[in-house]
Amino acid sequence: MPTPIPERTDRELPLAVLLLETGAIVQEALRAALAGSWLRPRHCQVLLHVAQTGSATQHDLIDAMAVDASVLVGLLNDLESEGLVQRLRDPGDRRRHIVSLSERGSEEQAALRKRIGVMEDALLTDLSAGDRRHARRVLQAIWGRAHS
Amino acid sequence: MPTPIPERTDRELPLAVLLLETGAIVQEALRAALAGSWLRPRHCQVLLHVAQTGSATQHDLIDAMAVDASVLVGLLNDLESEGLVQRLRDPGDRRRHIVSLSERGSEEQAALRKRIGVMEDALLTDLSAGDRRHARRVLQAIWGRAHS
DNA sequence: TATTGTTATACTCTATAACTATA
DNA sequence: TATAGTTATAGAGTATAACAATA
């Protein structure tokens, strides 16, 4: 039996537009949560992505974060000059940089997670733990589809 | 019984960041779906919001879309000069503009929905109709929380 | 005096193209 | 000849402040 077509009324906003706007809401909330720190949402994103993979080449980050190469360079310059990440040449291919978190970067990343957690809890108050798990699955499916 | 705290590992990306990135993915997909038209995602968003409410003041749109007043003016200028929307003074309060879709605007909006539908189906292939309903509920909850 | 909408301008973020160095 | 990363610069998108009209 084929999956029934999801109902769409003529009036309600398409899911895509809702996703777009929710993304903007979260970005704004993240910016607010980062107030007082010099970190901007993009910096935060880099730290979390590097933490997720342990270490990554800049090319890996460009792909995962959907950011332009030239933008990433600037973000890493900021993070490196503040001692949060380090760039090491890959001995196997000296064109590549291996990006990893410094000890301070790991601490900062952990602190960041707490701040983001508080922000999330305020934004997701109406959602149960099950809702959040489900939401994660959905978002990861979209993410995966876009990166395939 | 209190809602159990959602599990978060040290590695996986926070839901907020996933939401942020998915929003960017959708925005890019929307931009691609709009290729060939002069409409940008923001124009599209205006048309859909006006269609949703039937008519709205600019203040209403500013609130719903989380866009700056000065940005909205530019978007409406574009849409009005192309004959897709019209601005009428509110007789009850002559400071206000009532924004509504023209006939051409309604047609364009309907066509837009089809394009967005195709784009969505490509992006949400892995999701069942139930998943999509659930996702809508989650996103609306976040949207509502941010607009309260 | 406050609100709605407009304009001009500055700022931030992102994309493009040309470059170096390695492969 | 292609790829990883960098730099300088242009462009798109957004926010800020001052303004006119109306309440």
What is the residue whose two structure tokens read 């880099």? A46
Which has the closest alpha carbon to A118: A35, A3, A52, A59? A35
Residue A90 CA and nucleotide D5 C1' are separated, in Å, by 13
Of all helices (H) and strands (E), which one includes residue A113?
Answer: helix A103-123
Residue A72 per-residue DSSP state: H
Domain count for chain A: 1
Contacts of residue A133, Cβ cutoff 8 Å, sequence gap at least 6: B6
Interface contact flag, B48 A14, Cβ < 8 Å: yes
* Shortest CA gap A22–chain B (Å): 6
> Within an 8 Å CB–CB cutoff, is residue B22 touching chain A?
yes
* Shortest CA gap A15–chain B (Å): 6
Q: What Rg do the C-alpha atoms of chain A give, in angstroms?
A: 18
What is the residue whose two structure tokens read 């929380």? B145
Which has the closest alpha carbon to B28: A142, A58, A101? A142
B93 touches strand D (CB under 7 A): yes
Per-residue pLDDT of chain B (148 residues), as tens digits, is 444 444 446 789 999 999 999 999 999 999 999 999 999 999 999 999 999 999 999 999 999 999 999 999 999 999 999 999 999 999 999 999 999 999 999 999 999 999 999 999 999 999 999 999 999 999 999 999 998 8
Q: Specify if B8 maps to a domain.
A: no
With contact defined as beta carbons under 8 Å apart, do A100 and A54 qualify?
A: yes
Residues 29-48 of chain A whose Cβ lies under 8 A from any Cβ of chain B: 29-30, 41, 44-45, 48
Q: Domain range holding B26?
A: 17-119+128-146
Of all helices (H) and strands (E), which one includes residue B132?
Answer: helix B129-146
B128 to chain A: nearest residue by CA? A3
Q: Specify if B94 maps to a domain.
A: yes
CATH number at residue B92: 1.10.10.10
- Three-state SS for A96? strand
Residues of B in contact with A136 (CB under 8 A): 15, 18
When pLDDT is averaged across residues A85-98 and rounded to a whole number, the result is 98
Q: Specify if A108 maps to a domain.
A: yes
B96 touches strand C (CB under 7 A): yes
Q: Specify if B7 maps to a domain.
A: no
Candidate from A5-9, A119-123, B46-50 with smallest mean pLDDT: A5-9
Q: Specify if B39 maps to a domain.
A: yes
Dist. CA B19–CA B14, nearest whole Å: 9
Interface contact flag, B20 A10, Cβ < 8 Å: no
Among partner residues B45, B133, B143, which is closest to A25 by beta-carbon distance? B143
Residues of B in contact with A28 (CB under 8 A): 66
Full-model pTM? 0.93
Q: Specify if B63 maps to a domain.
A: yes
With contact defined as beta carbons under 8 Å apart, do B96 and B89 qualify?
A: yes
Beta bridge partners, B88, equal B98
Q: Specify if B97 maps to a domain.
A: yes
Q: Specify if A42 maps to a domain.
A: yes
Interface contact flag, A14 B113, Cβ < 8 Å: yes
What is the residue whose two structure tokens read 């949402």? A41
Residues of B in contact with A113 (CB under 8 A): 8, 10, 14
